[in-house]
Amino acid sequence: MLRNSQSEILLLGYGNGVGRAYECLLELEKQNILCSLVDLRFVKPLDKETLLTLSKNHKKWFIFSDSAKIGGVGQILSAFAQENNLQIKIHSFEFEDDFIAHGKAEEIEEQLGLDTSHLTQQILQHI
């Protein structure tokens, strides 16, 4: 747990996604929107006990990782939520199953809508 707030909003970062989640948290705080931030250090095996605890107060989960949506972290967490009947909403900011051109990371992230500005706007639409 990198940041714990009383908010129902939870940003879960995996790998490089932790940095993107943190940047979004800072942008949201500028608008007086508090979020909790977790560094999901490993996906397999899941830390089920911690995830169950997080689900009690955090009802809106936003997933940040460099994984594809299909078979990625968001899908793993969605399956976990379903298996445990968790009353949470999960939004994954992982890339679609498409060809991704090579280039500078910042340019690719912007093209995919994975830059801080786009991600923050998407979070605002879902809270």
Residue 99's pLDDT is: 63
Residue 72's pLDDT is: 92
Would you state the structure tokens that stand for residue 16, as one six-digit string? Answer: 């490089």
The contacts of residue 44 (CB under 8 Å, 6+ apart) are: 76
What Å distances lie between residue 116 and 15, 56, 81, 84, 112, CA to CA?
Answer: 16, 27, 26, 31, 11
User: pLDDT, tens digit, for every residue of 75-116?
Assistant: 999 999 999 999 999 999 987 766 667 777 677 677 666 789
pTM to 2 decimals? 0.88
Residue 98's pLDDT is: 66
Residue 4 pLDDT level (bands cut at 50, 70, 90)? very high
End-to-end CA distance of the chain: 21
Q: Which residue intervals of the chain are DSSP H helices? A: 17-30, 48-57, 73-83, 105-111, 116-126
